[in-house]
């Protein structure tokens, strides 16, 4: 049985999902030979540290850790001083300066700990630096949940499509925008009503302009450009237009001609803009779904779709990244 000690940094919606999923899947993971032990959980109000494992059931009822905290040192200090193999970083994202997640990630990697995250901001701001830090310290950095949530995209390209040249990726990477456009098309809702509904579903960013102005999608385009296409680009390199000027009339006209309008991010073109998508196209998914078409030299076009956000869905992508770190065997070690 391989024991893996995990420090969880961030205890919001996704953090709760991670604790719940680790708890729910404990037996299945043990059957796989993995004992994933949560040795610390931290948020901005405190930390729970337990060498023999934090019991999920004891903290899942708490919205924050304030009432159950048993350690008052900073989150960076926790990453440094608690003995762990892997850090899961899921604090709120900031796409401008990447903090506080960026500092947590630098600390984890510098300490030689593997990193798994759903936090886009630090990767948008400093992907290259973080990647080098991981390589220098011989550890993995995994971030499937940052683009398309639970929809397998990065791992699909890196593992399953290995050997293919990836010629381009085009997709819907923001569930909030897709929900708004779907409701406006199907129910003829005005934009504001559709946005309110999307916010109620809990998908929208804290500041929903990040969604509707295309900022969130552009961040995901930057992550794909730097990680899959090795491009070394910044947010400012992306040409961005959101969905705020799309009217129900435009959507209706498109529908009459056999199209839907979707907010599409494209790599390596580095664009985010509303585009006409034929109604029968695999990219024409509705509601909060994300979708991505991957254009390859050997496999043609592969299209995937799935939920781009959500507590358990995002935690599922995080769990998959964690397991993949411990399942990866190099060709050298097999022969």
Q: Indicate the residue whose CB is closest to ligand HSE.
A: 176
Q: 131 vs 311, which CB is nearer to ligand HSE?
A: 311
**Distance (Å, whole) CA 255 – CA 238:** 28
Task: Give the span between the Cα atoms of 42 and 45, in whole angstroms.
Answer: 8
Q: Output the smallest distance, CB 220 to ligand HSE, in A.
A: 7
At its nearest, how many Å lie between ligand HSE and the CB of residue 178? 8
Q: Which is nearer to ligand HSE, 10 or 56 (CB)?
A: 10
- Residue 139 or 238 having the CB closest to ligand HSE: 238
CB of 24 to ligand HSE, least distance (A): 22
Rank residues 107 and 313 by Cβ distance to ligand HSE and give the closer one.
313
Judged by beta carbon, residue 201 or residue 325, the one nearer ligand HSE is 201
Catalytic residue selected from 25, 142, 220, 262: 220
Q: What are phi and psi of 221, to 5 degrees?
A: -60, -40
Structure tokens at 201: 């579903």
Return the number of other C-beta atoms located less than 10 Å from residue 135's C-beta.
Answer: 12
Cα separation, 154 vs 140, whole angstroms: 14
Q: How far is the CB of 204 from ligand HSE (least distance, A)?
A: 5
Interatomic CA distance for residues 120 and 122, integer angstroms = 6
Residue closer to ligand HSE (CB basis): 40 or 227: 227
Shortest Cβ distance from residue 27 to ligand HSE (Å)? 30
Binding site for ligand HSE (CB under 6 A): 149, 174-176, 203-205, 211, 216, 308-309
3-state helix/strand/coil string of the chain: CEEEEEEEECCCHHHHHHHHHHHHCHHHHHHCCEEEEEEEEEECCEEEECCCCCCHHHHCCCCCCCCCCCECCCHHHHHHHCCCCEEEECCCCCCCCCCCHHHHHHHHHHCCCEEEECCHHHHHHHHHHHHHHHHHCCCCEECHHHCCCCCCCHHHHHHHCCCCCEEEEEEECCHHHHHHHHHHHHCCCCHHHHHHHHHHCCCCCCCCHHHHCCHHHHHHHHHHHHHHCCCCCCHHHCEECCCCCCCHHHHHHHHHCCEEEEEEEEECCCEEEEEEEECCCCCCCCCCEEEEEEEECCCCEEEEEEECCCHHHHHHHHHHHHHHHHHCCCHHHHC
Is 220 considered catalytic here? yes
Residues 52 and 64: their CA atoms lie apart, in Å, by 21
* Residue (205 or 266) nearer to ligand HSE, CB: 205
Residue 194 CB, nearest approach to ligand HSE (Å): 13
Minimum distance of ligand HSE from residue 320's CB (angstroms)? 17
Residues assigned a catalytic role: 220
């Amino acid at each position: 049985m391989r024991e893996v000690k995990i420090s969880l940094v961030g205890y919001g919606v996704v953090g709760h999902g991670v604790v719940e999923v680790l708890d729910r899947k404990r037996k299945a993971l043990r059957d796989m030979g993995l004992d994933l032990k949560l040795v610390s959980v931290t948020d901005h109000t405190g930390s729970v540290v337990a060498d023999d494992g934090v019991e999920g059931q004891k903290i899942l009822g708490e919205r924050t850790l304030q009432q159950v905290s048993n350690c008052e040192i900073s989150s960076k200090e926790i990453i440094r001083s608690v003995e762990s193999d892997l850090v899961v970083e899921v604090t709120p994202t900031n796409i401008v300066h990447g903090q506080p997640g960026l500092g947590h990630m630098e600390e984890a990697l510098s300490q030689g700990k593997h990193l798994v995250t759903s936090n886009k901001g630090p990767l948008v701001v400093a992907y290259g630096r973080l990647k080098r830090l991981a390589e220098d310290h011989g550890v993995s950095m995994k971030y499937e949940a940052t683009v398309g949530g639970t929809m397998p995209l990065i791992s699909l390209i890196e593992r399953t499509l290995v050997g293919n040249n990836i010629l381009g990726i085009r997709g819907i990477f923001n569930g909030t925008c897709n929900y708004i456009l779907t409701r406006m098309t199907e129910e003829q809702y005005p934009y504001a009503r559709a946005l309110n509904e999307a916010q109620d579903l809990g998908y929208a960013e804290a500041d929903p302009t990040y969604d509707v102005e295309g900022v969130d999608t552009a961040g995901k385009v930057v992550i794909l450009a730097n990680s899959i296409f090795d491009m070394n680009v910044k947010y400012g390199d992306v040409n961005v237009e959101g969905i705020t000027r799309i009217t129900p009339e435009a959507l209706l006209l498109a529908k009459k001609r056999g199209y839907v309008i979707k907010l599409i991010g494209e790599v390596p073109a580095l664009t985010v803009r509303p585009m006409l998508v034929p109604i029968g196209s695999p990219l024409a998914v509705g509601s909060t779904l994300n979708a991505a078409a991957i254009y390859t030299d050997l496999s043609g076009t592969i299209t995937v779709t799935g939920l781009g956000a959500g507590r358990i869905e995002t935690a599922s992508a995080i769990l998959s990244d964690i397991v993949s770190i411990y399942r990866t065997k190099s060709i050298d070690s097999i022969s």
